[in-house]
Structure 1
Amino acid sequence: MKNLKNMRTVALIFWIIAVVVAVVALPDLQKLGQEKGQVALPADFESEKAAAILNDMNNNGKSTYDFAIVFNDEKGISKADKKKMNEVLQYFEDNKKKYGITDTLFYNDSKQTEEQLVSKDKTTIINQLSIKKELESATEVADKLNAKLKDLPMKTYITGSDVVMDDFAQTSQEGVQKTEIVAIIFIIIILIIVFRSPVVPFVSLLSVGVSYIVSLSIIAQLVDAYNFPFSNFTQVFLVVILFGIGTDYNILLFTRFREELAAKGHVLHAIKETYRTAGRTVLYSGIAVLFGLVALFFAEFSFYRATGGVAIGVLVLLLVLFTLNPFFMGLLGMKLFWPVKNVKSHADNKLWGFLASQSFARPFVALAIVAIIAVPSILMYSGKLNFNDLTEISDKYESKQAINLISDKFPAGMSSPTTLVIKSDEKLTSAEALQEIDRLTARLKEVDGVDKVYSVTRPEAKKIKELYLGDQLDTVTDSLDEMEKGTNKVRIGLEDAASQSAAATEQTAAMLPPQAAQQMATQAEAQAQGLKQATGGLKQVEDGLKQTQDYTSEAAKGNANVLNVPDDVLTGKDFKQSLDTYMNDDQNTTTMRIILKENPYTAEAMDVMKETQSVVHSFVEGSSTLHDTDAYLGGKTMSNVDLQQMSDSDFKRSIIIILIGISLMLLFITRSLAQTATILVALVVASFASLGITEWIAATFLGEETLSWNVPFFTYIMLITLGVDYSIFLMMRYREGENLGLEMIVEACKKMGGVILSAAVILGGTFAALIPSGINTLIQVAVAVMIGLVFLAVLLMPVFIPSTFGLSKKMNEPKKKA
């Protein structure tokens, strides 16, 4: 006994040291989230390929932050204010090295950029900067830029996808702080109600708190030193899962400890029996949760893998529960339940007892009730998801304010344009290549939902008439028309001159002697003949010009959209500006800037992008000139399309792996394939039903027509990996009397109903603590998990599972009679 006491004391000292080291070594979590907590897609996705080529093209392969500086004055930006703004822009241009600026696109660069970046009402101007990613976060870089902008007379905003994500990281940190406070208060209240003692809540929170601090520090160190997967939600879910299941496990352990104290009266024997029974249940439950979370490391998507980091927290939690908890049990004994003096085992749960007994006796009725409740809930889920990150961020952040302002003042797509990049092994300035680029530009403009397309041949998002063969032929036709008119005028003049000469000769001949008059007539006839031949020749020229004019006119109609850039234009100053903007120095890579009519963050924009992607790929594949080029779409909307594809495929793979892992654990515990399948069905039904109801709640009360894109994933993970705990609680108790028959499932429900209901309330309340975070995803996940827990704790565990046992008994009864 003394050795056991010494071991418990050593455990206490160990965890004290571990907590101190963890706190001292804990990195800056907000900065860690900004630097390594962003959603990153694998490099083989289209948007990532486009980004890589653009980095090579514009930044020599270095990663950059892309910022949009928005200037706004609703009264209109005056000339004096514009002068001050231009001075700041010139300052940034002159100090590129100081700020790490790699590229700029200012409204005053050219008439083309002015047309693109100045709103029609002249109240808003956008300017763009690319700045090297070094040691500073996007927010820190933006703060440096703001220091130069703050004295300008108009409103200024800085936005960009990197700033938006930093603001989201800040929102997440604020949400974590709110969640921690609310969760702790809620858990204290529930534990006091359950145990009617202030001591148990203190001990429970202490053990969970130790595991949280130590595991958070371990995860943060792994992220900082070894790029361990991390997201802005890792810490949030570490809080709710550890405080949720940690408290659940403590309820199970302390409840069983109270039972054993009542039965045996000896503290050390009670501890030993508690860990032999309830401890084994907690161990199995914890391992099942570990199976589910560790399975996430097999995901391809780093955002999903990051959630697997919570497995470290669960492992530390189990170590704490099996080492630190026995210390307090041995130290305090019955004082754990102070001021209660008479220690009694907990009473059977009447609700679960009634539901289980009725379901076991009438399985078909019970299954029908489950179906009537669950099926409509499942059918409510549409499967449509929202990929708009802006809904996660408060309107107080200027990054979101800027995007909203841009959407109001410009085509909605201007807040985050899509870029098409085309890379070739050959120069793209040949006549054939430029023609194909122009044809593709025109084809993209025809896509429903595309507002404007800027390219090397259409730098102002419209045709430059002088560069098209049709217009050039029209010019030739006009010239021919002028020549024909001039020829006609000369011919008519000559004919008039001939008539006048003939009349004058006739008058003069009448006054001359016959011989002289005859000679003069002969000369006049010769002259008239010459004029006739001349006018005839001019007539032929005139007719020829007319025919050529008809030909060029018809040819112009057939070649109205055929690009023909003359060599002198291609090498000229004006076109060089377009080449510099839309091509690299080697002229083998070109870009197009696509502005959508829809907000780039919305589902509608994603639909437009999918159509755009289809158009680009089919055009390039069918083009003899561009067939061998690499053509990729990049930008926020394309990234969301890739994100949808990535999350869908990875979600399915992760769920399969998790279900396999949990199935193996359940098979080990139940030794029954049928019981394992029953539990898995219950978990899956709870997940789908909760999503259906949550979608309805989100649309009705939260103003969100669809769930956030990662809500189904987190809901499944939480309900399957955490919900399996309750199944294990129930089945472990059932196995204690399994040899007495299937009817013992009813007895197990009576014994474990109170514990499981309390655990579900604790876990649901912990997730409810996510609601004050203000983050849509977390609010929706919280609602879905709470609804799923209600399904498990009130319908599926006490009704569905006993009904399957009762059905099994009814199916086997005839065999026994025979």
Structure 2
Amino acid sequence: MGAGQRTGGRRRAVPWVMLALWVGILACASPFASKLADVQHDRVTDYLPASADSTQAAKLQEKLPGGQTTELVLVYHRDGGLTPADRATAARQVTEIAGAHALTGGTPQGIPSKDGTTLMYPVASNEPGTDEKKRDALVDDVRDVARSQDGLTVEVGGPGALATDASKIYQSLGGPLLYTTVGVVAVLLILIYRSPVLWLVPLVVAGIADYLSTGVAYGLHQAFGTTVSGQSSGIMTILVFGAGTDYALLLVSRYREELRRHERPYDAMRVALRGCGPAVLASSGTVAAGLLCLLAADLNSNRAMGPLGTVGVLCALAAMLTLLPALLVLFGRRVFWPLVPAYGSTPKVRRSLFAAMGSSAGRRPRTVLLGGVLLLGALALGALNLPGAVKQQDTFVDKPESVAALETLARGYPEHSAQPIDVLTPAGGADTALTTIRGVDGVDDARITRTGGGWTEISVTASAPPQTPAETRTIERLRDELKDSYVGGPSAQQIDLKDTNARDRLIVVPLVLLSVLLILVALLRSLVAPLILTVAVVAVWGAALGLGGLVFGPLFGFEGTDPGLGLLSFVFLVALGVDYGIFLMHRMREESLRGAEPSAAALTALRTTGGVIASAGLVLAATFAVLMNMGLVQLVELGFVISVGVLLDTFLVRTYLVTSASVALGRRVWWPGRLSRAPEAETPRVPEPV
């Protein structure tokens, strides 16, 4: 057998071996992938700071006799005043609920409002314990009994009902989010590739990567106890399809370019992987490094998102650099039909949009750069208009029954809070603590509800409405007076969330910037180019937040901003935004190594990668925009800021600002690397515009 035959046999075998390897990987992952939903939880403690008072209180509540208590409030209301028949209906419904479920303290007594329009029944049960499905079933059963009739409005609220309404939204992040994401990516790929077949290949590979990521995430949970929540698993799916499709677009574009220069698809793919592989590896590395920095966060939901997001990105990377190339080589050139790149053909020379953009940036680079910086700065000023921290009852896009109940209670009982503050104090000093609590300014009432395991639970009613400055001062006084106790409950949790997010920003943001800079320096062999890219993505983040400030309140009608928005949007925009800078700068460096002058290298890089970057940006922005269709304010805000930021990064920063800065700086952009002094001259080639 000759050398040519052996080489040809190897070419034919490698893709099949890779395909068989992936079949084996999926077979191993399959038993675990289906189990991820079983370990997914959306408990209060999964979204709270690990070290906060309110988190410790929630954990202790779970350990008290009966486990965690599900607290509900049945609210009966008639605008003109409750009638005797209304009160009889309320008593009958509450008795029926008490007969069907073991309520703490037996059948509750109604508490009428002073104006006679509202009657509330506090209901508590230990039946569900810490089981979220049982809690949701209890809330649904209570709502089935407590129904409005004949002008009498009946609403079920309280912490348990709020948790159930939020849980139902998080549960919808599974199937609906996946299907919507797949649909959006499919439509965009069809428009980008203009082929009836090609779009399906990267989409299927992304689906396989997503399936693998669920299995790996389950294994991570089993091995290290990693928290899996609806939010973190949903973000993982978006990253697989968003980032994975970006890598596919870059690889397919380069592969199509090489098919015109190489007769065999195997050879073209090998050259394409060598050409764009380092950029894709560095790109995924920045995203993974940025996400892993979230492990330094104290907020449980943010810290859990780091490992799962990293799993998603790495699974997407592995699939797009191994399985996708194998499939493309096996399908051959015909996968591009009807726009098949023939061997030896020359791409049509056309005046592309990105060539025009590059020309404008090349003619007056300093003017373009200054104009872009001023525009981003002006947009960033909108962040001053961001509303304050969102209250718990305002976290839903569409008002659920639990929030409507809270509002009814606030109108009917303006003299005191309708949301208890939970104090967990050592059992030995419970009486002393109770006396101290009742003497704290702002406390309307306090009573012992449960004791066990060395701890006593005291339910405190503040005189101020929930999550107001006056109630916040009451919680702070309680914490000052009760040094050995933990003060929790929904309002205390919101305070701790705000404080912890501020602390996490101070730690995580520098870590993200440092890790991204180090990866860029290693890839680009320069200090100046990485600094340009990093400053650019930070500017984009500020501008995207500013746009959020202009629309969240006035346009979307949101009453507040999620305290974690700044940190999460920063991590995602910096890590993901640098991707496009890497694609552009890496191609610019390639052209410089072939002997192109700095300005020519910058404009060629933009012309050849502009279409890919635009396509990738649209796909990534669209996948994160899917979050805007979810029912929680924090997800809508996060989806908006990241989507807008990616679009700004794609069509303003990469095309104009980074290009104009590179042209203006010339060879200094590669300082202190050798390209800043004397580039290696090689035979230049005419790249294919995309």
Question: CA separation in 2, counterparts of 1:588 and 1:302?
Answer: 24
Cα deviation for residue 38 of structure 1 reads 5.8
Q: Deviations over 1:56-110 (max 9, x none)?
A: 7xx4494332232334556765556645654665676678xx74x55568225xx
Aligned 8 A contact 1:30 1:173 in 2: no
SS state at 1:630 partner: coil
Q: 1:305 aligns with which of 303, 306, 314?
A: 303
1:274 corresponds to which of 269, 272, 280: 272
Indicate conservation of the 8 Å contact 2:76/2:155, yes or no.
Answer: yes
Residues 762-810 of structure 1: CA deviation (Å, up to 9, x unaligned)? 2122223333334333332232223212322222222222333344349
Q: The residue matched to 1:633 in structure 2 has which SS?
A: strand
* Contact 1:245 1:763 survives alignment (8 Å): yes
Aligned to 2:161: 163
Residues 89-148 of structure 1 show CA distances to partners (whole Å, capped at 9, x for unaligned) of 5676678xx74x55568225xxxxx4xx65632543222214151545320232344566
Work out whether 1:12 is the aligned partner of 2:15.
no
The total of aligned residue pairs comes to 653
Deviations along 1:693-724, one digit per CA (max 9) or x if unpaired, are 12202222111254333322332122111111
Give the number of the structure whose alpha-carbon radius of gyration is greater: 1
Alpha-carbon contact 1:27-1:221 (below 8 Å) kept: no
SS at match of 1:69: strand
Classify the secondary structure of the residue corresponding to 2:126.
strand
* Matched AA of 1:9: W
User: Deviation per CA, 1:253-290, whole angstroms, max 9, x where unpaired?
Assistant: 11111111111222111011111112332222122221
1:568 equivalent in structure 2: none
2:194 pairs with 1:337: no
Correspondences of 1:72-83 after superposition (within 5 Å): 72=77, 79=84, 82=87
Amino acid paired to 2:445? Y
Please report how far the alpha carbon of residue 685 of structure 1 lies from its aligned counterpart in structure 2 after TM superposition: 0.3
Answer yes or no: is 1:727 the counterpart of 2:584. Answer: no
Which secondary structure state, in structure 2, belongs to the residue aligned with residue 70 of structure 1?
A: strand
The 1:270–1:43 alpha-carbon spacing in structure 2 relative to 1, beyond 3 Å, is closer
* 1:595 to 2:451 alignment: no
What one-letter code is carried by the residue in structure 2 that aligns with 1:191? L
Give 1:422 shift.
6.0
**Among 115, 120, 125, the residue aligned to 1:120:** 115
| Distance in 2 (alpha carbons) for counterparts of 1:94 and 1:193 | 60
Aligned counterpart for 2:136 among listed residues 106, 123, 139: 139
| Displacement after TM superposition at 1:226 (Å) | 5.4
Structure 1 residues 37, 148: CA separation in 2 closer, same or farther (over 3 Å shift)?
same
* Higher mean C-alpha displacement, 225-234 vs 653-662: 225-234
Question: Among residues 256, 281, 296, which one is paired with 2:254 in the alignment?
Answer: 256
Partner of 1:69: 74
The 3 A distance-change label for structure 1 pair 223 and 140 is farther
Contact 1:207 1:324 in 2 (8 A): yes
SS of residue paired to 1:700 = coil
Question: Quick one: distance in 2 between partners of 1:327 and 1:417?
Answer: 60
CA contact (8 A) 1:175 1:774 kept: no
Distance 1:38 1:212, change over 3 A: farther
State the distance in 2 between where 1:76 and 1:256 align.
73
Query: CA offsets, 1:714-738, max 9 Å, x none?
Result: 3212211111111110121112122
The 5 Å alignment of 1:206-285 reads 206-220=204-218, 222-223=220-221, 227-285=225-283
Cα distance, 1:87–1:610 mapped onto 2, change above 3 Å: closer
Structure 2 residue corresponding to 1:200, chosen from 191, 195, 198: 198
* Structure 2 CA distance for partners of 1:167 and 1:369, relative to 1, 3 Å: same
Question: What is the letter of the counterpart of residue 686 of structure 1?
Answer: V
Secondary structure of the structure 2 residue equivalent to 1:44 = coil
Identity %: 22
Amino acid at match of 1:401: A
Aligned to 2:683: none
Provide the residue aligned with 1:410 in structure 2: 413
Tell me, yes or no, if structure 1 residue 675 matches structure 2 residue 529. Answer: yes
Alignment partners' CA distance in 2, 1:169 and 1:588: 28
Give the match for residue 608 of structure 1: 470
Summarize deviations over 1:544-587 as a string: whole Å, max 9, x none. Answer: xxxxxxxxxxxxxxxxxxxxxxxxxxxxxxxxxxxxx5796999
The one-letter code sitting in structure 1 at the alignment partner of 2:373 is A
Q: Equivalent residue for 2:651?
A: 794
Distance 1:646 1:375 in 2: 28
- Distance in 1 of aligned mates of 2:218 and 2:660: 46
Given that 2:287 and 2:572 are in contact with CA atoms closer than 8 Å, whether structure 1 keeps it comes out as no
Residue 121 of structure 1 aligns to a residue whose secondary structure is coil
Q: Equivalent residue of 1:107, what SS? A: coil
Aligned pairs for 1:446-461 (under 5 A) are 453-455=444-446
Inter-partner Cα distance in structure 1 for 2:624 and 2:174: 12
Q: Does the aligned pair in 2 maintain the 1:395–1:401 contact within 8 Å?
A: no
In structure 2, what is the Cα distance between the partners aligned to 1:43 and 1:261? Answer: 53
Q: What is the SS of the residue equivalent to 1:66?
A: strand
Q: Please, which of 726, 742, 757 is the counterpart of residue 598 of structure 2? A: 742
| 2:642 matches 1:785 | yes
Distance 1:31 1:364, change over 3 A: same
1:389-404 correspondence runs (5 A):
389-393=392-396, 395=398, 397-404=400-407
Structure 1 residue 32: deviation in Å? 4.7
CA change 1:246–1:89 in 2 (3 A) is same
* Mapped pair 1:715 → 2:569: yes
Structure 1 stretches lacking a partner, 5+ long: 109-113, 446-452, 457-580, 621-625
- In structure 2, the CA distance between the partners of 1:28 and 1:163, relative to structure 1 (3 Å rule), is farther
Report the secondary structure of 2:12's partner residue. Answer: helix
RMSD across aligned C-alpha pairs, in angstroms? 3.7
Q: Partner of 2:383: helix, strand, or coil?
A: coil
Q: Give CA deviations for 1:145-175 in whole Å, capped at 9, x if unaligned.
A: 4566579997654333343233223223435
Cα distance, 1:30–1:394 mapped onto 2, change above 3 Å: farther
Contact 1:392 1:775 in 2 (8 A): yes
Q: What SS does the corresponding residue of 1:295 show, helix, strand or coil?
A: helix
Cα gap change, 1:118 to 1:131, in 2 (>3 Å): farther
Question: How far is the alpha carbon of 1:23 from its aligned partner?
Answer: 5.7
Distance of 1:36 and 1:590 partners within structure 2: 19
1:699 is matched with: 553
In structure 2, relative to structure 1, the CA distance for the partners of 1:396 and 1:700 (3 Å cut) is closer
Answer 1 or 2: higher relative contact order, Cα 8 Å, separation at least 6: 1
- What's the offset of the Cα at 1:599? 4.5
In structure 2, the partner of 1:481 is: none
Q: State the SS of the aligned residue for 2:172.
A: helix
Does the 8 Å contact 1:348/1:750 carry over to 2?
no
Q: TM-score, normalised by structure 2?
A: 0.84
Deviation at 1:44, TM superposition (A): 3.5
Question: 1:727·1:797 contact (CA, 8 Å) conserved in 2?
Answer: yes
Counterpart code for 1:141: L
Which of 366, 369, 372 is the matching residue for 2:371? 369
**What amino acid sits opposite 1:611 in the alignment?**
R
Question: Which stretch shifts more, 161-170 or 754-763?
Answer: 161-170
User: Any idea what SS the aligned residue of 1:126 has?
Assistant: strand
Q: Distance in 2 between matches of 1:284 and 1:142?
A: 48
- The 3-state SS of whatever aligns with 1:380 is helix
- C-alpha change, 1:413 and 1:169, in structure 2 (3 Å) is farther
Q: Indicate yes or no: 2:495 matched with 1:641.
A: yes
Once the two structures are overlaid, the 10-residue window that deviates more, 139-148 or 678-687, is: 139-148
Which residue pairs with 1:185 in the alignment?
A: 183
